[in-house]
Each structure stands twice: as C-alpha cells, then as structure tokens.
Amino acid sequence: MEKIEHIGIAVKDIVSAGKLYEKLLDTVIYKIENVDSECVKTAFLQSGPNKIELLEATANDSPITRFIEKRGEGIHHIAFDVEDIEAEMQRLKQEGFVFLSDKPKPGADNKLVCFIHPKSTNGVLIELCQTRKDMPM
C-alpha cells in the first residue's frame, strides 16, 4: 500500500458542500463525475498533495444514502493508492480482510477500486485504488 490517495466525504448536497469545500481549501472542484455502478455523484478537490472526494447519493438505495441515514454526513472512506490492486486484494484476503466485492471495479477519477468491509477495519471503510493504465490520465 502506498500513500493516501484521497479521503471520501459523504454529503447530502454536493453543490452546497462543493462550494463550502472550495472556500475551505481555497481551490476549485476539478472534476465532477457520476459513478452509476455505485449510485453516487462525486466531486474532487485538490489541496496541495491532498485530494478530497465529495460523494452524494443519486438513488435511494445508494450506499451513500444508507451511510447518511445511519451515521449522518461525514468521513465515508479513506482511499489508499496501490500499484497492483489484484495482488493487494489477494494479500489482504489471505490476511483475513473481507472485501465488499470479489473483483476491482471501475471507480471515479480513472481508477480501479475495491472496498474492504468496515467490519474488517475497526469501522473504517477502506478503498484501494489503482490508476487505470488503459486510459489516459
């Protein structure tokens, strides 16, 4: 595992949250992207080396809807960069970590992603992400 790639924050309203985080970080959202497989809309901000992903649900059965119902708005996940997501999943499965999906999936911002179940990681949803090599940056 390498550096923290981004921190994901669940929000009810990505437009107003986006404006607030633009003010907070003194920057602008550089990308807004829907991830239909996860029923989320994402917005990315970069602050120095740090990246924040805002997530808004686009459906009532979105994982973000369920998260906000249970825990309210707030930090949703921490994402780590990995070189080889398949190898890292293999390693972590052998260590007993439970994943939310068997295979990596296309995620936002040109990544292949997978999530470790928060029950495996003291209540913190961990995302692994690998930059896709088949697409331009």
Binding site for Zn ion (CB under 5 A): 8, 53, 79, 127
- CB nearer to Zn ion: give 88 or 127: 127
Tell me how far, at minimum, the Cβ of 77 lies from Zn ion, in Å.
6
**63/92 with CB nearer Zn ion:** 63
Q: How far is the CB of 28 from Zn ion (least distance, A)?
A: 19
Residue at shortest CB range from Zn ion: 8
Asked if 8 contacts 76 with a C-beta cutoff of 8 angstroms, the reply is: yes
> Considering beta carbons, is residue 80 or 97 the nearer one to Zn ion?
80
Q: Least distance from C-beta 54 to Zn ion, angstroms?
A: 10
Rounded to the nearest 10°, the torsion over CA 28, 72, 101, 46 is 10
d(CA 77, CA 6): 9
Nearest CA to 114 out of 130, 134, 137 is that of 130
8 Å CB contact between 101 and 112: no
